Structure 1
Amino acid sequence: MASVFRSEDMCLSQLFLQVEAAYCCVAELGELGLVQFKDLNVNVNSFQRKFVNEVRRCESLERILHFLEDEMKNEIVIQLPEKYPETPLPREMITLETILEKLEGELQEANQNQQALKKTFLELTELKYLLKKTQDFFETETNLAEDFFTEDTSGLLELRTIPTFMTGKLGFTAGVINRERMASFERLLWRVCRGNVYLKFSEMDTPLEDPITKEEIKKNIFIIFYQGEQLRQKIKKICDGFRATIYPCPEPAAERREMLAEVNARLEDLITVITQTESHRQRLLQEAAASWHAWLTKVQKMKAIYHILNMCNIDVTQQCVIAEIWFPVADTGRIKRALEQGMERSGSSMVPILTEVESKTAPPTFNRTNKFTAGFQNIVDAYGVGSYREINPAPYTIITFPFLFAVMFGDCGHGVVMLLAALWMVINERSLLAQKSSSEIWNTFFHGRYLILLMGIFSIYTGLIYNDCFSKSLNIFGSSWSVQAMFRNGSWNTHVLEANSYLQLNPTIPGVYSGNPYPFGIDPIWNLASNKLTFLNSYKMKMSVILGIVQMIFGVVLSLFNHIFFRKIMNILLQFIPEMIFILSLFGYLVFMIIFKWCQYDAHVSQYAPSILIHFINMFLFDYDDPSNAPLYSHQQEVQTFFVVMALLAVPWMLLIKPFVLRARHRRSQFNFGDVFVHQAIHTIEYCLGCISNTASYLRLWALSLAHAQLSEVLWTMVMNIGLRVRGWGGIIGVFVIFAVFAVLTVAILLVMEGLSAFLHALRLHWVEFQNKFYAGAGYKFSPFSFKHILEETSEE
């Protein structure tokens, strides 16, 4: 239980392992996840380490597995294992390499065969349609008429008519070209051949698939008539330049029909072969999908183990692996048992030796967390990882953070919405975790679900204290104020009501105010009062000052526990005591005056109540001759003078005594008095001025609370009120539309934007105003070798 409030006690030990048992022992420590290895080969190049070849083999297996994953993408569902497989032994790498390399080779061969078959299928399909279009053209144009070179009805278009000087036998070239290149191909053919060709083209209606990219491609069939070998060569070069495919097309019609029949027969055979090849490929992928996750887990575990072994030393006899490890002292027994299990699994007879060594560096900081406390610990660690064995602010943050957030966010209606959202995430956390969303915003909210849950609960509480629910008050217990008493007293009558838009209840009149405070929170009648904002300003401002000073004093008290734990008696006498005297003499006394005034002055004498702010200013000026501001109590001058003198004495107490005491202690040894004095001066100035600025900083609790309440009221008045004012059927229909707008704006502005603003301000109050009183945050985090963390990080990537 003590480890919750302070980081774990850590131990640095040397670990001696037999070479044959090292792999299995490291594997067991990886399953345990409680040991951090030090890199003993920092000055050794990564490529010169002992197990670099094994790491490369694991990376080669990872490449094959990623290749298989890409092949299965959008085709085969990879099966998730019920549990992670055990760490494989080193000899299993050979078996795994054989299986994966064979599977990769068969799959690559199947892909190559499939691509070759699909390429042939594409060419035969193009040839089939080309033969059909050519045959259709020649059958349509058997008897050439005088208007042969005008537009015909075959659906083929022409580039231009054949010139009249072409009187010899015409040759033709037929082929297929990508549709997007057709326009450029046509223009270049016209210019290069100077119009001495005749072009017909038609679009292929059948969609084609690229055998490599598997994307849909659109093509055109073309026929070019020309005369002479010179034009044929030019046409061929242009076709090559535009990557057009030229197919042999016989001139006799009978040969074309015979070729078409042969092509159709080959296509039927090819479809059968492609189907069989695809079935074989699918069988290979199904086989890979069943074991893919298990293979990947094994490879990642082996690779992680060899990375750790590369951080160890091997003695000159090549028989012993030497490692240095950090681990929590409380887990020593578990670590020894894990090492024994690794030794038994490897078949070794040499027991691993664990020897504690002295550390020249500070140990890492390790705070145990669970799914509830992890979010709060992350808030603390984001400011800075605690120094070794320093008191941990996270347990106190569990309460203070959502509470201060709720002070700024206080609205029980908005708190209920936030609570329901957090409850949904908590109840369905297993299914939501299994989905493994890649959205960073969603993951941030989900990982902080317990924090949001507490923020919602505390917001409901503070909302009831403020008596604020969607900017409206809840009249649960009935008001302590009575309007009838004003009529019975004669202060109000019908004429007074008609003449005044606003009237004020006088609490000094008997019967108007019962004298009993509202049982819980603020009386609902304040929601109707014209001076509501004035009352809440005073109330929330003083409440913010009290909460801020109490939390700062608590932070100073926590520093005492650090001094006691580290046995720094000097810090207790020369730092903690003057700090407490300073803050209690000034700001503790301010809290006393606020509470004393609340208790001392009621409605009958409230008009004579003195100003606390004026008293606090005069306290420093030693000015007690202000007749307009009466004293709060008798002997106030003597008490305040004593507190100011004590606060002034605390400053040199903090500043001067400690450096000179340290100088006297280290007179015979090397000692830099200047550095010590400057450091103590900075601490003193920072603390004294910080008490003032930090107290003012807590006024953000008041400002954010009023801002949230006013935004909520504006949203209700300008949106929801519109639908409630309209009468009849139109109002009934309109209220649904208006409510939808109201709900969206409430979630977007008041819950998300205002919630984020309150969250950031609460974060700042903890990091700067609270933690700087006792928390250095100058450590580094304990990063154990854990298969669980490695596999989770890989899964997220």
Structure 2
Amino acid sequence: MIRSEGMSLYQLLIPRESSYDVMSELGQIDSVMIIDHHQHLLSKPFINQVQRCDEILSKVEYLINQLNQIGQTIEHVYDFKLMLQEVRCMKILVIQRVLSFKQIQKHTFINQIEEYITGKYQQVQQQIDTLSRLKSKLQNTIEAKEAMINARRWLGIAYFHSKSSTALDFDEQMIKSYHQHGGMMPSQKFTHFVGVMDAKDYQIFQRTVFRITKGNFMVNQTLLSVSRSCFLLIFPSFSLQSETWRKIKKLCDVLKVDHISLPLTEEQWDQRYCDYDKEIIEIENMDKLTNQLLQSILKPLLEDGNAQPSLLFIRFYLVRERTLYENLNKVKMQQSIFLANLWVRTSEIQLLEDILQTIKMKNPHIPAPQIKKNAIANQKPPTFFQTNQFNKLFQLITETYGIPDYKEINPSIFSIITFPFLFGVMFGDIGHGAAILIFGIFLSLNKIFSPRSEQKMLREQRIQLGQQIKKQINSKDFNDEDLNTDFNLTQIIFDLRYMLLLCGAFSLYTGFIYNEYFGLSLNIFGSCLNKTDCTYPFGLDPQYEDLNFRNSYKMKLAIIIGFCQMLLGILCSGFNYFYFKKWINLSIIFPARLLFFTLFIGYMVLLIIIKWSTFHIDTSQSPSIITTLVDMWMHDGQVTLKTFESADFQVQLQKIIIVICILCIPFLLFAPIIADIIAMLRRKKKDPKSLQEFEMVPQNMNSDSSNDDIISEQSQHTSYIDIIVEHLIETLEFALGCISNTASYLRLWALSLAHSELAKVLFDLTLKDPIANANLLASLVGMPVFLLSTLGILLCMDSMECFLHALRLHWVEFQNKFYKGNGYNFEVFSYRKEMQKYQEKMKS
């Protein structure tokens, strides 16, 4: 965990005939990363196969969506190692069932899958289209029936005494209503038009008809549903060839108005009603039969049949195939040979060798793959850390800032302790710390709260299915590790359980040191104030409630903590220089930084400790540390108020510190410049081509040599100006950062003080007076207010603030002393991880 796992670079020579088998096995072991030879090319060798898998996957997702719509859901997969084994086993079973195994190649199994899925897709799409047409037809029929009912109500009995279906005389009430709308004389003949349209277009239709008829119209409208409405339009009679009638027809076409023709007689009207009712019944029966047929097509996709696997297996099989071809696109093709450069975890080299040997034994009739150690020296290895449930969150915090370089000291190993500790320094309170600690313990011990409790049952079902497949064919043992979980708030809180536990423990610890319980002091051991030969056993004496004292104590404590953590960062940089064999940095830069920092900031820490250990009768006459440090630099080390017993000794010491700090600056500036210039000149003498190609001669993999010599991190600058400017900035940043970073640790003091005072204010406003006056009713009312405000403001909001400040102290003040964060992750070639990513993508 302190450094990333060892990586070895190998080249794999794969004959075209065995490429599919080799890549299939490499994706199973989760131990190799294939370097992309074609990352800058848009057209890659197997892009068609990848697109083919994507097209089939889109059809599979379409079928899954249709299953969801009929209430049949595809279960989520939680054990992808088991799923991968099942997909592999089911593939072999289906091949054996459909065709003779000798008549089909493994990589052509996708042809059967494509044919099967395409057939089901077309069948389902045909039924969906039929359902869509039936639904549209049913809606139109119901709307037509409703429109006829409303039209009959609007037109009245006079409609059946007219001589045509488009011209009629109206009774006195209709004519009176028409006159109110600016109509014409009672003797005028009128034309009616009944239609159904979208409700949102009705206002546009009404205004346009007003302009066409110049206001000579009347319209009635009723909503049939939220989005559809029917209307009856009445306007003066026009010839069917007239301009006005033509404009109205064109408007209806533009707005997609469904015209409803009305019968002429009551008998025809009643017959039309009956026809509509029969048609609605027929359409509903057809819809029911079509749904039954659709379900008969879809439901078998959920289970494994005698000829084809379930849709769940097909989905992940296609993801597996797509991942295989995506990684095949990364290899370099030379005639009938594939050249793949692999990063392999050093601990998994033997496993890779065994896999290749197994492939050779299974397929003795085809050329076997060959592997050799790669001699490329300018390749930077990827970074990989093996994490678990306890440390993965701390590793994620570190990698959010930047991926560690290969074999660089991993800051997360220190953050496991330092992060909760800094949180506790800011959040220190016995009551609040105990609340977070209890919550963390509850999350850690309560398995029912874990989202995996639901997954356990599903996992057992998957294992039972896997065991059934295992009985039918010879396959590897099934594994039930690495459960995937849904991304939800419950899971996020559960993943924080160990951090909450540690943060609560350190908050409780610092709360005892501060002697604060919900902002109040506790007299646990009895006060030692004004007592001789009495020392308070642990923490602050409860009588020291003076804000100035606690303010001074927490401020100085923050400086000491910051000095210790930054000193750890500088020491880590020395270990990095030693590991990477950067002898100039180790012999010059590291001592210069260590001396500058320890003398500059360490002297201030020494003054704090001496001041704490010295008794002053009148504290106003005690020396000010800030004044002492300012005078030291402004007056050549002179002392105004002595801190040491001997003022002369303090003056001499301060002068020595000033001289050494000033002498360290040139070493910090010029040593890395000289080192990078020498490295640049050496690099220019080398032939670049010799770093890119190497001889492809098979070599024994059981070599004791490692690849740690390829991790040189020398600067890649090509000009002197770049080197000088970079290191000038770095020197200024380090020198000034010693002051600014130390000052930044004062946030520990500020947030701790704010937390303490805020807790005290909440208590004073809610419970202090009721408890002091023994008012039971006021206490019962104030207690819920106090608890809710403590939960919302302190345990939630203030804890988040402390978390963010602790994060900033680690990222900026601590890690910049040694951590570059310029690495890249070990992107393993893994079917399991790709299946997991695909499922998460589909769920989102």
TM-score, normalised on structure 1? 0.81
Deviates more, 1:91-100 or 1:170-179: 170-179
CA–CA distance in structure 2, aligned partners of residues 233 and 678 of structure 1: 80
Residue 232 of structure 2 aligns with which residue? 222
CA–CA distance in structure 2, aligned partners of residues 184 and 658 of structure 1: 77
Report the Cα offset of residue 587 of structure 1. 3.1
Q: Secondary structure at the match of 1:327?
A: strand
Alpha carbons 1:25, 1:339 under 8 Å: kept: yes
* 1:367-766 to 2 correspondences below 5 Å: 367-423=385-441, 426=444, 427=446, 428-431=449-452, 447-481=495-529, 512-527=530-545, 532-601=546-615, 609-620=622-633, 621-622=635-636, 626=640, 629=642, 631-632=644-645, 635-655=649-669, 683-721=730-768, 731=778, 734-735=781-782, 739-740=784-785, 742-766=786-810
Deviations 1:613-640, CA, capped at 9 Å, x for gaps: 44444555455564x5464358444554
Q: Secondary structure at the match of 1:36?
A: strand
Q: Secondary structure at the match of 1:16?
A: strand
Residue 61 of structure 2 aligns with which residue? 66
CA–CA distance in structure 2, aligned partners of residues 73 and 237 of structure 1: 42
Letter of the structure 2 residue corresponding to residue 299 of structure 1: L
Report the Cα offset of residue 287 of structure 1. 3.6
Deviations 1:241-264, CA, capped at 9 Å, x for gaps: 443322333212222222322332
Report the Cα offset of residue 348 of structure 1. 6.3
- Tell me if 1:771 matches 2:815: yes
Percent of paired sites with the same residue = 29
CA–CA distance in structure 1, aligned partners of residues 215 and 234 of structure 2: 12
- Tell me if 1:792 matches 2:840: no
Deviations 1:321-359, CA, capped at 9 Å, x for gaps: 221111221221222334445566778654432211122
CA–CA distance in structure 2, aligned partners of residues 247 and 16 of structure 1: 74
* 1:169-318 to 2 correspondences below 5 Å: 173-182=193-202, 184-186=204-206, 188-189=208-209, 192-193=212-213, 201=220, 203=222, 207=225, 217-220=227-230, 222=232, 224=234, 227=237, 229-230=239-240, 236-289=249-302, 291-316=310-335, 318=336
CA–CA distance in structure 2, aligned partners of residues 274 and 663 of structure 1: 81
Deviates more, 1:518-527 or 1:78-87: 78-87
Alpha carbons 1:158, 1:198 under 8 Å: kept: no
Deviations 1:257-283, CA, capped at 9 Å, x for gaps: 223223322322222111111222233
Report the Cα offset of residue 768 of structure 1. 2.7
- Tell me if 1:165 matches 2:187: yes
Q: Secondary structure at the match of 1:112?
A: helix
Deviations 1:451-508, CA, capped at 9 Å, x for gaps: 3332222122212211222212233223223xxxxxxxxxxxxxxxxxxxxxxxxxxx
Q: Secondary structure at the match of 2:838?
A: helix
CA–CA distance in structure 1, aligned partners of residues 676 and 117 of structure 2: 68
CA–CA distance in structure 2, aligned partners of residues 311 and 357 of structure 1: 17
> Given the alignment, which residue of 371, 378, 388 partners 1:354?
371
Report the Cα offset of residue 569 of structure 1. 3.5
Report the Cα offset of residue 295 of structure 1. 2.3
Q: Secondary structure at the match of 2:172?
A: coil
CA–CA distance in structure 1, aligned partners of residues 802 and 759 of structure 2: 15
Residue 15 of structure 1 aligns with which residue? 12
Q: Secondary structure at the match of 2:9?
A: strand
- Tell me if 1:80 matches 2:76: yes
CA–CA distance in structure 2, aligned partners of residues 658 and 576 of structure 1: 11
> Given the alignment, which residue of 125, 128, 149 partners 2:145?
128
Q: Secondary structure at the match of 2:553?
A: helix
Deviates more, 1:58-67 or 1:250-259: 250-259
Deviations 1:183-237, CA, capped at 9 Å, x for gaps: 55455545544676675x46366x5xxxxxxxx6432253758646447666544
CA–CA distance in structure 2, aligned partners of residues 235 and 657 of structure 1: 89
Q: Secondary structure at the match of 2:188?
A: coil
Report the structure number with the largest CA radius of gyration: 1
CA–CA distance in structure 2, aligned partners of residues 146 and 652 of structure 1: 109
Residue 691 of structure 2 aligns with which residue? none
CA–CA distance in structure 1, aligned partners of residues 312 and 119 of structure 2: 18
CA–CA distance in structure 2, aligned partners of residues 193 and 220 of structure 1: 20
Residue 210 of structure 1 aligns with which residue? none
> Given the alignment, which residue of 150, 164, 171 partners 2:173?
150
Deviations 1:707-753, CA, capped at 9 Å, x for gaps: 222222233333454765787675256325xx34x444434433444
Alpha carbons 2:359, 2:368 under 8 Å: kept: no
Q: 1:164 to 1:587 in 2, by over 3 A?
A: closer
CA–CA distance in structure 2, aligned partners of residues 140 and 745 of structure 1: 73
CA–CA distance in structure 2, aligned partners of residues 229 and 666 of structure 1: 94
Q: 1:148 to 1:383 in 2, by over 3 A?
A: same
CA–CA distance in structure 2, aligned partners of residues 755 and 108 of structure 1: 54
Unaligned runs of 5+ in 2: 92-105, 163-167, 304-309, 456-483, 686-718
Q: 1:228 to 1:696 in 2, by over 3 A?
A: closer
- Tell me if 1:51 matches 2:38: no
CA–CA distance in structure 2, aligned partners of residues 171 and 716 of structure 1: 82
Alpha carbons 2:428, 2:511 under 8 Å: kept: yes
Letter of the structure 1 residue corresponding to residue 832 of structure 2: K
Alpha carbons 2:8, 2:343 under 8 Å: kept: yes
Report the Cα offset of residue 150 of structure 1. 0.9
Letter of the structure 2 residue corresponding to residue 103 of structure 1: K
CA–CA distance in structure 1, aligned partners of residues 196 and 638 of structure 2: 104
Letter of the structure 1 residue corresponding to residue 794 of structure 2: L
Report the Cα offset of residue 686 of structure 1. 3.8
Q: 1:240 to 1:159 in 2, by over 3 A?
A: farther
Deviations 1:747-791, CA, capped at 9 Å, x for gaps: 443344433332333223222322222223333332222223323
Note the aligned Cα RMSD (angstroms).
Answer: 4.0
CA–CA distance in structure 1, aligned partners of residues 735 and 172 of structure 2: 101
Alpha carbons 2:515, 2:540 under 8 Å: kept: yes
Report the Cα offset of residue 102 of structure 1. 1.3
Q: Secondary structure at the match of 1:526?
A: coil
Report the Cα offset of residue 11 of structure 1. 1.2
Residue 474 of structure 2 aligns with which residue? none
Residue 701 of structure 2 aligns with which residue? none
Letter of the structure 1 residue corresponding to residue 401 of structure 2: Y
Report the Cα offset of residue 73 of structure 1. 4.5
Q: 1:413 to 1:165 in 2, by over 3 A?
A: same
Letter of the structure 2 residue corresponding to residue 376 of structure 1: F
Letter of the structure 2 residue corresponding to residue 150 of structure 1: Q
Q: 1:792 to 1:631 in 2, by over 3 A?
A: same
Residue 103 of structure 1 aligns with which residue? 120
Deviations 1:147-176, CA, capped at 9 Å, x for gaps: 9231699x9999787733337xx7754443
Letter of the structure 2 residue corresponding to residue 452 of structure 1: L
Q: 1:128 to 1:395 in 2, by over 3 A?
A: same
> Given the alignment, which residue of 18, 26, 29 partners 1:29?
26
TM-score, normalised on structure 2? 0.77
Q: 1:666 to 1:13 in 2, by over 3 A?
A: closer
Report the Cα offset of residue 377 of structure 1. 1.8
Q: Secondary structure at the match of 2:372?
A: strand
